[in-house]
Structure 1
Amino acid sequence: MTAAEVSSADRPTHILPRGPGVVWFAAAGFVNAFGTGFFYPFTFLFFVKMSGVSLSTVGVVLTIAALAVLPGLPVGGRLIDRFGPRQVLVVAALLRACCFVGFVSTRGMVPLLLFNIAFALGNRVEQAAVPSLAVGLAGEGQSARWLALSRVVFNAGIGSGAMIAGLLVVDSRSGFTVLGVVNAVSFALTALLYLQLSAGKSPTRTEDTADSAVRSRAWRDTLFLRVSGANAVLWTSTLIVETALPVFVVQELGLATWTVGALFVVNTSLLTLLQLPVGRFLERFRPGPVLAVGGCSFAVLYVTVAVLGSVPHTARTGALLGAMAVYTLGEMAVSQAGLVMVTSVPPKRELGSYLAFNQLFVGVGAALAPTLAASLLDSRSGVLWWTLTAMSVLAALLILRLPRDAAPEPGDGPADRRRG
């Protein structure tokens, strides 16, 4: 069935996903993201106060922890396939709760490193297991909507947590101890909420698994590598924007600091309010072209920032806000289509392993983003935005050159392809 053959009469009119467990799934995702958002703005200050080590040491520890967990992700993927995503999510949430107990009760670099490795592992496994759980819980033709819901509650939770933390957290050791306890409680509550869900459909236990020789072969699947590579390029560019844009806006463009807040209010508000309706609209199109167009729309912001120095000062804020709105619409399209593709291309019985392998790409991008942003901002800041533009175009070309059957037609569910 092609997109043109899907009549509007055949599509359900509701925007929210349907199915048992949708409320528990949304609540668990929101609470998990709330704890992350509550902690995220104060990451460096929290670790400096709690561990007693220097800021530069904290930076090195976080980088080492982010890279150290990458080799273990394939094991996490196999656990998702073996035991189911819900069980893995419960364990990952409890692991992160224990890490925050450790952060507030111990001092020194070694405990800081060990707990951060465990925390980073829990985060990466959680990001692989959530899409797998969404696909397992979704009814026929509902996968894209459940995946979109996971992004909505994530953005809402992150924004709410960061806003409330900004109002409540006190810059003192006791204040950051409260922050750590709040996070431990939020992750423990997340585990309890996930326990209310059914395990969802588990292809690894209901389908013939005798063909074990083909398991965990994501690294040999060229199609999946191209999809994951394009996603990782776009994901890395968004992380660079988060890091570099505030510095460039204030220092290079000479705009007021409130402009930075306004830009991210536009971004977060649109993501929270429009992700579901936009995702509902995008369901009628093939995810490959949607991902490519969304990635190219990132370039609107990058090019705007690059040329804004030649624009009259009074027009810069308005131009930035408009470009950020376009960028945010592209971000919705990228997150929606990207999740649909990485969950549709793998064989169902190996979905957890494939998604965990995808986190290797994401993890490398997350580790490289701050270095790339800092080095270009220090040397040739204008080049940074043209580099990001080139990355967006590259990702779009990778996706557009995929075979037409690389992802399901609009309305189809995840594939179960066997490749040699």
Structure 2
Amino acid sequence: MTATEAPSADGPSHILPRGQGVVWFGASGFVNAFGTGFFYPFALLFFTELSGLPLSTVGVVLTIAALAVLPGLPTVGRLIDRFGPRRVLIVSALLRAGCFVGFVATRGIVPLALFNIVFALGNRAEQAAIPSLAVELAGEGQSARWLALSRVVFNAGVGSGALVAGLLVVDSRSGFTVLGVANAVSFVLTAVLYVKLSARGTTARTRASAAAGAVRGSPWRNTPFLRVAGANAVLWTSTLVVETALPVFVLHELALPTWTVGVLFVINTSLLTLLQLPVSRFLERFRPGPVLALGGCTFAVLYVTVAELGSASRSVRLVALLVAMAVYTLGEMAVSQAGLVMLTSLPPQPELGGYMAFNQLFVGVGAALAPLLAASLLDSRPALLWWTLTVLSVLAGLLIPRLPRHATPEPGGTPSS
């Protein structure tokens, strides 16, 4: 990477994003993520208890629902571009609130499937609209920091929600009913907070990006965007595999104490929450393409460490895992920030919502495949799982340096001419 002057002239002390609505944007993102974190650890138990269906059936329904919404994402993108991301986020939050009311009030496989399809669609719409809203609200030279703030409040909200849920949720039908009602309330509050936001319209940065020759037309014809979306999806999938497989491998293959898993994910969540903004501020001086590539290759530090620890002593295993997780987390910060900057900078800005929804097709397929990859290899050849992730992460990183220079955003997120 070649360092250049940071895009803004406000000095290194200004880490937080500036602009009208930043407090409401952060608050809405935090409340939305808090509800997700509050629900996520108990999702399977929640659906099993309230639907009256076996766990295996619930798993199949959730997988089908996650895949069923993918063909509808291009329509979501067009809605974002036509009506604006804020309106889509409001509707998405209210739909998900209604789904939780439905989960609590109904039983059986048909209501479970229907409400989960709507819920999954709302989740994908939210993930496509949030980056578009951040870019729309950000002032000149501020979009990277608004995108970083969206990641900070997401990680802080999910972590806080999971912690509170672990302390308060009771493993019973009445306990899960309270969980469902609480999530419905959280999404209604999220919608109210989105109402407080007002769009700033097209910024000077947006106009400069369009003037720089961004490829117009369908997302699948934009080769630079496809490469970034593909690489980003592979790296995102690998992080989902880590969340699923690492606890099992640490406990069953490395024979480490149960608390090890908690410590590893506390390190990950804490660093993501505390360091994402300053790290993103530092990375603004570099081209996001090489940052994304290097961040992806950094994932391999954790994967190789986990694969090679079998013969080490218990103390060495523990220390090596803690260090590797810290390095992996720094790479995760780089990947999430550089990926968002590139994904929001490469498309024609009037079509940004459509492109971000198209990106969710990649993300959705990865999210569906992650549990399958983790479960199949953990059952047969556990060490091979980590070597597979190593190869995939390195290959994903290698996709990015092959982009032509004119398609790579300059530091600050604007494609070079």
Instruction: State TM-score, norm by structure 1.
Output: 0.94
Cα 1:6–1:261 shift into 2, 3 Å: closer
**2:157 paired residue number:** 157
Shift of 1:155: 0.1
Q: Is the 8 A contact 2:26 2:150 kept in 1?
A: yes
- Note the alpha carbon deviations across 1:325-383, whole angstroms, 9 max, x for none: 00000000000000000000000010000000000000000000000000000000110
Shift of 1:391: 0.6
**2:178 paired residue number:** 178
CA distance in 2, matches of 1:366, 1:405: 31
Shift of 1:222: 1.1
Q: Classify the secondary structure of the residue corresponding to 1:400.
A: coil
CA distance in 1, matches of 2:364, 2:380: 25
CA distance in 2, matches of 1:3, 1:125: 35
Q: Is the 8 A contact 1:133 1:200 kept in 2?
A: no
Q: Is the 8 A contact 1:85 1:132 kept in 2?
A: yes
Q: Is the 8 A contact 2:8 2:141 kept in 1?
A: no
User: Within 5 Å, which residues of 2 pair with 1:6-405?
Assistant: 6=6, 11=11, 13-201=13-201, 217-405=218-406
Q: Is the 8 A contact 2:128 2:360 kept in 1?
A: yes
CA distance in 2, matches of 1:123, 1:349: 22
Cα 1:232–1:7 shift into 2, 3 Å: closer
CA distance in 1, matches of 2:193, 2:309: 46
CA distance in 1, matches of 2:287, 2:7: 15
Where do 5+ consecutive residues of structure 1 fail to align? none
Q: Is the 8 A contact 2:289 2:409 kept in 1?
A: no
CA distance in 2, matches of 1:378, 1:227: 32
Cα 1:149–1:300 shift into 2, 3 Å: same
Shift of 1:13: 3.0
Q: Classify the secondary structure of the residue corresponding to 1:34.
A: helix
CA distance in 2, matches of 1:411, 1:373: 36
Cα 1:334–1:18 shift into 2, 3 Å: same
Cα 1:8–1:227 shift into 2, 3 Å: closer
Q: Classify the secondary structure of the residue corresponding to 2:400.
A: helix
Instruction: State TM-score, norm by structure 2.
Output: 0.95
Shift of 1:145: 0.2
- Note the alpha carbon deviations across 1:231-261, whole angstroms, 9 max, x for none: 0000000000000000000000000110000
Cα 1:6–1:97 shift into 2, 3 Å: closer
Cα 1:11–1:178 shift into 2, 3 Å: same
CA distance in 2, matches of 1:137, 1:162: 29
Amino acid at match of 2:161: G
Q: Is the 8 A contact 2:234 2:393 kept in 1?
A: yes
- Note the alpha carbon deviations across 1:27-64, whole angstroms, 9 max, x for none: 00000000000000000000001100000000000000
Q: Classify the secondary structure of the residue corresponding to 1:306.
A: helix
Aligned length: 408
Cα 1:6–1:53 shift into 2, 3 Å: closer
CA distance in 1, matches of 2:116, 2:238: 24
Cα 1:416–1:134 shift into 2, 3 Å: farther
Q: Is the 8 A contact 2:129 2:356 kept in 1?
A: yes
Identical positions, percent: 78
Q: Classify the secondary structure of the residue corresponding to 2:310.
A: helix
Shift of 1:200: 3.2
Where do 5+ consecutive residues of structure 2 fail to align? none
Runs of 4+ in 1 over 2 A off after TM superposition: 2-13
Cα 1:7–1:222 shift into 2, 3 Å: closer
Cα 1:216–1:55 shift into 2, 3 Å: farther
Q: Is the 8 A contact 1:216 1:354 kept in 2?
A: no
Q: Is the 8 A contact 2:91 2:191 kept in 1?
A: yes
Shift of 1:314: 2.1
